[in-house]
Structure 1
Amino acid sequence: MIIQQLDQQEAFTTADGSTIRSILDATNAPVKNQSLAEASLALGGKTDRHYHKLSEEIYFILEGRASMEVGGVFQTVGPGDAILIPPGAWHQIEALSELRFLCCCAPVYSHEDTYF
């Protein structure tokens, strides 16, 4: 059994500009098919618009509100909302307040699979 504590994970900035803490991924556990991270953006912060050729992503909003764009469709999202981002879909999230969300990727997130 592998258990990771969120507060024990170091934050880093991803290729798209968000600050994340990996909860479980290939860097800290024997994960092969998916990854889970906590991401945060300050008020007004946004990721660079991008897509992933391989990874399917799910964002789950924990705190705050954001404008979410997936494939040219925009919607305001908030706590409890889960957003599916298919492989190949251009996407961007912009914080309308302090924002904290979970990001699940399958296969495992990698900077090399992030395209601008």
Structure 2
Amino acid sequence: MSRPNAAAAPSTPPVTVTARADAAPYVTRDGSIIRELMHPAVHGNRNQSLAEAEVPPGCVTLLHRHPQSEELYHVTAGQGLMTLGDASFAVGPGDTVHIAPSTPHRIANTGDVPLLVLCCCAPPYAHDDTDLLEPAAG
């Protein structure tokens, strides 16, 4: 007696793991210190990017918007004041904020330790999708 052919097992996509320590920090257009944890240009994923943003105590990012990208901010450490459109509100560890495309936003560190935020962008973050809405200081 023969058995029916088993369906082929789905192939497993390549596994990509990024260690935070291996993600070199850089300063992005809004003034935050960024570590790209997962980005198509480097890691092979396709439709989104994930970065950790660090805002030092007493600092604030420049007001900006992303015409194409939807963002999610998830605070992992520190305290901040998020400005989203005309609204401003306190954020802290465990808080997640949705930022619709083209919505002006900034985040200020109101505490005495670095404010750390995971930033997920879809489509993936691109410098040319960042419109600064105020000039840089200096």
Q: Which has the higher strand share?
A: 1
Over the aligned positions, Cα root-mean-square deviation in angstroms equals: 0.8
In structure 2, list runs of 5 or more residues that go unmatched.
1-14, 133-138
Partner residue, 1:109: 125
Larger RCO: 1 or 2 (CA < 8 Å, sep 6+): 1
Residue type of the alignment partner of 2:49: S
**Greater alpha carbon shift after TM alignment, 27-36 vs 69-78:** 27-36
Residue type of the alignment partner of 1:45: C
User: Percent sequence identity over matched residues?
Assistant: 38
Partner residue, 1:3: 17
Partner residue, 1:99: 115
Residue type of the alignment partner of 1:72: D
What is the number of residues matched between the two proteins?
116
Q: Distance in 2 between matches of 1:69 and 1:114?
A: 16
Give the CA deviation at 1:31.
Answer: 1.9
Give the CA deviation at 1:15.
Answer: 0.8
The residue matched to 2:31 in structure 1 has which SS?
A: coil
Residue type of the alignment partner of 1:99: L
Partner residue, 2:60: 46
In the TM superposition, what whole-angstrom CA distance separates every residue of 1:36-77 from its partner, at most 9, and x where no partner exists?
011101111111000000000000000000000111100000
Residue type of the alignment partner of 1:100: L
TM-score, normalised to structure 2, is: 0.82
Residue type of the alignment partner of 1:114: T
The residue matched to 2:128 in structure 1 has which SS?
A: helix
Q: Distance in 2 between matches of 1:101 and 1:52?
A: 17
The residue matched to 1:27 in structure 2 has which SS?
A: helix
The residue matched to 2:131 in structure 1 has which SS?
A: coil
Q: Distance in 2 between matches of 1:27 and 1:44?
A: 32
Give the CA deviation at 1:103.
Answer: 0.5
Q: Distance in 1 between matches of 2:52 and 2:122?
A: 15
In the TM superposition, what whole-angstrom CA distance separates every residue of 1:59-113 from its partner, at most 9, and x where no partner exists?
0000000000111100000000000000010001000122111000000001100
Partner residue, 2:95: 81
The residue matched to 2:60 in structure 1 has which SS?
A: coil
Partner residue, 2:32: 18
